[in-house]
Structure 1
Amino acid sequence: MVLLTFVGNLNKHTFEPVRSILHPIFRNPNQCPISSTFFVNDNFTDYCLVQRLFDNHNEIAMTTSSNKCPLMNCYDENNWNRWGENNWKREIRQQRINLIEKSSIHRSHIKGFRVPHLQIDDNRHFEPIRNLHFHYDSSMLFKSSKYIWPFTLDYSFNQIDCINCNESSKTIETLWQFPLHEWAYPNTTTTCRTLSDSTCLPEDELHTADLLYDFIIYNFDRHSSLTLGRRSPFVIELDLFWLSEHRDQRLEALIRFIDYILNNDDYRYVYFVSIEQALEWLKYPRNLTELEDFWAFSCSEIIYEYDIDCADTKPTDGEKPKQLTSTNTTEQYIDLQAERLFRSGIVLYSVWTFILLILTVLFYDKYFVNK
């Protein structure tokens, strides 16, 4: 699995690369468009685009509202202060409200969190996101020599290979961790924290599309090949501002990578999915031959355009939705109906009605039948 995760300010100035990456021409092996995860903050964010991305079956997760650096002063701000617990709680709560109110996304769909700038501070974000019923965190960064599968925080774990973790044995029940890993460049010992970090790239070479493409392929192979590394989900953090700068080279490298993987028979079982979808596979695993019919990787038959009003998620006369070929619309429909059924309380009312009926029958049988 390849997990494309976007961070940064999402608006019309940074969206063009996203449009190209998530173009419906790129299809997973089950013929559904590739999907991704967006960790949204409130800075200059166009919530209309957020809503459209969600409508098109991308996952909307979140970081803090201000996206400021909580642990270290990244931008030499004069009034910067290290965050306390109340800062974390306020920032997380506010951004959740922003997504619910400004993007019309139900709170049950906001499941994931990533700390701003990967700055974990004494695990202070864990308690707030657990109290808000988040399903996972994706903030821990591990060494490139130690590939870690997603894991639950119900138990303590060995933090030696975690670069940004705090030494804490505290456990958090029901919360998953989707780790990131450092990036390595061939034949060197230096590493990069993320794809947008160029510290491990050659200083005496131009960072061309070819160099970046080879860089991505090499790290993908380390995640997917038992000879180079250890198989694990390939989580890519894509900074929207970084993508917008030098867009020709960086976007070309990413597009070439996506196109190569999706059209190479050696990778016919590789899916580009959101973290939410990957989590469903971890909970309900399927073997490779069953992935095409796996409900969590399915899609609807409509793609919404990004250049129109987002007030209504239903197609309008001015919008021409693009038809897709989906093999799992029935299962998805059943799943959504079940979600609405339980959310509306019909089951609860039915149970109470049944209990009252039983009590009525018993009462009638005891006091009236034998008279």
Structure 2
Amino acid sequence: MWWSKNATIEDWFDEMVGQANILNRFANVRMEDIRGMRVPFLRIGWNRQFLMMKEFGFVYDSSMVAPFSNPPLWPYTLDYKMPHTCTGINQNCPSRSYPGIWEIVINQLEVGDFTCGMIDSCPSQLGGDDVYRMMNHNFKRHYLSNRAPFGLYFHATWFRNNDYLQAFLRFMGDLQKLPDVYFVTQQQVIQWMRKPTTTQHLNSFEQWGCKQRKWDPREKVCSIPNTCKLRSRVLQQNRFLYTCNECPTQYPWIRNEFGLD
């Protein structure tokens, strides 16, 4: 709840731009490739979050869980009032417009009598076949209605359950057989919405093409990364960081994203 009620613009900047700096410094991700963000615990940060996004140049947020609806919602810009209520306990959605900022809204999944935004927040007693049926059912809610982009959101630990992993791979295999279904990033969704293109012409859709890029030597994947055992002053313990670059002096953290001594 702290992120919704107490975090200042500076706090949001330190958290999100700090993470971007960590990705850039230690994973060699280019800053211009970091376009969007998701807030901690899906706690929307009122106007302060979006003021920071506007100032830094983030293109989209993907944190708002919309009320369950048929048909689902398409992504939208914050040029105007958001088209749904602010869902969640003590959430703090923006009260102003932020022209040019996109919201990749989280459409809730339907699982029997339950709804859930993240797949790993759905009922935990589901078996592999249940998960497969759930993903198929909700995909069809999108595919057979208004074709709103179907987002699937997980934490990595969800895939430790092999039944879930196999259900997910089976579901992915089914979708690959459909000639008009594409696996895209959220940025690519926005690019298509800015320039809608028919399926007959998507093979030549420039924004989805694979452009040749010149890579700096440091941007290339290394065979054996450095394993950095680092002290964290904030956490008061040692943590491990894996990077193809040199190890920092301290474990990178908020307001010390470069791990300086």
Task: Find the aligned partners of 2:141 and 2:101 in 1 and give their Cα distance.
Answer: 27
Work out which of the residue numbers 46, 51, 70 in structure 2 matches 1:122.
46
Q: CA deviation at 1:139?
A: 1.0
CA distance in 1, matches of 2:173, 2:35: 29
The SS at the match of 1:276 is helix
Q: How does 1:1-371 map to 2 (within 5 A)?
A: 70-71=2-3, 82-146=6-70, 147-160=72-85, 162-164=86-88, 166=92, 168-186=94-112, 188=113, 190-199=114-123, 207-226=126-145, 230-244=146-160, 246=161, 248-263=162-177, 267-299=178-210, 312-314=218-220
Per the alignment, in what secondary structure is the counterpart of residue 184 of structure 1? strand
CA RMSD of aligned residues (A): 2.8
TM-aligned CA distance change 1:314 to 1:185, over 3 Å: closer
Query: Is the Cα–Cα contact under 8 Å of residues 9 and 52 in structure 2 kept in the other structure?
Result: no
Distance 2:77 2:117 in 1: 23
Does the aligned pair in 1 maintain the 2:115–2:122 contact within 8 Å?
no
The Cα shift of 1:183 comes to 1.0
Structure-1-length-normalised TM-score: 0.54
Hey, what's the Cα distance between the residues in 1 that align with 2:27 and 2:48?
Answer: 27
SS in 2 for 1:234: coil
Aligned length in residues: 219
Distance in 2, matches of 1:236 and 1:151, equals: 18
Shift of 1:280: 1.0
**Once the two structures are superposed, what CA deviation does each residue of 1:172-223 show, in whole Å capped at 9, x if it has no partner?**
121111101111024x3x2122211123x7xxxx522111100110111111
CA shift digits 1:126-169 (9 cap, x unpaired): 11111111111111111221521111111123332x41453543
CA distance in 1, matches of 2:14, 2:212: 39
Cα pair distance change 1:92/1:225, threshold 3 Å: same
Q: Which runs of 5+ in 1 are unaligned?
A: 1-68, 73-80, 303-309, 319-371
Task: Specify the alignment match of 2:243 in structure 1.
Answer: none
**1:284-317 deviations in Å (ceiling 9; x for gaps):** 1101111122122223699xxxxxxx9744589x
Shift of 1:260: 0.6
Q: Does the C-alpha gap of structure 1 residues 279 and 129 become closer, same or farther in structure 2, counting only changes over 3 Å?
A: same
> Structure 1's 315 and 163: CA in aligned 2 closer, same or farther, altered over 3 A?
closer
TM-score by structure 2 length?
0.74
1:92 touches 1:128 (CA, 8 Å); kept in 2?
Answer: no
CA distance in 2, matches of 1:209, 1:114: 28
Partner in structure 2 of residue 10 of structure 1: none
What letter corresponds to residue 129 of structure 1 in structure 2? M
Indicate if the aligned counterparts of 1:70 and 1:116 stay in contact, CA closer than 8 A. Answer: no
- C-alpha change, 1:314 and 1:103, in structure 2 (3 Å) is closer
Tell me, in whole angstroms, the C-alpha distance in 2 between the residues paired with 1:91 and 1:221: 37
Instruction: Flag structure 2 segments of 5+ consecutive residues without an equivalent.
Output: 224-261
C-alpha contact 1:159 1:167 (8 A) present in aligned 2: no
Q: Percent identity?
A: 27
| SS in structure 1 of the partner of residue 152 of structure 2 | strand
For 2:174, give the aligned amino acid.
Y
CA shift, 1:240, in A, is: 0.9
Offset, 1:109: 1.4
Distance 1:218 1:301, change over 3 A: farther
> Does the 8 Å contact 2:38/2:62 carry over to 1?
yes
> Structure 1 pair 85/300, CA: closer, same or farther in 2 (3 Å)?
closer
1:283 Cα deviation after fit: 1.2
Alpha-carbon distance between aligned partners in 2 of 1:131 and 1:117, rounded to the nearest angstrom: 23
The structure with higher relative contact order (CA 8 Å, sep 6+) is 1
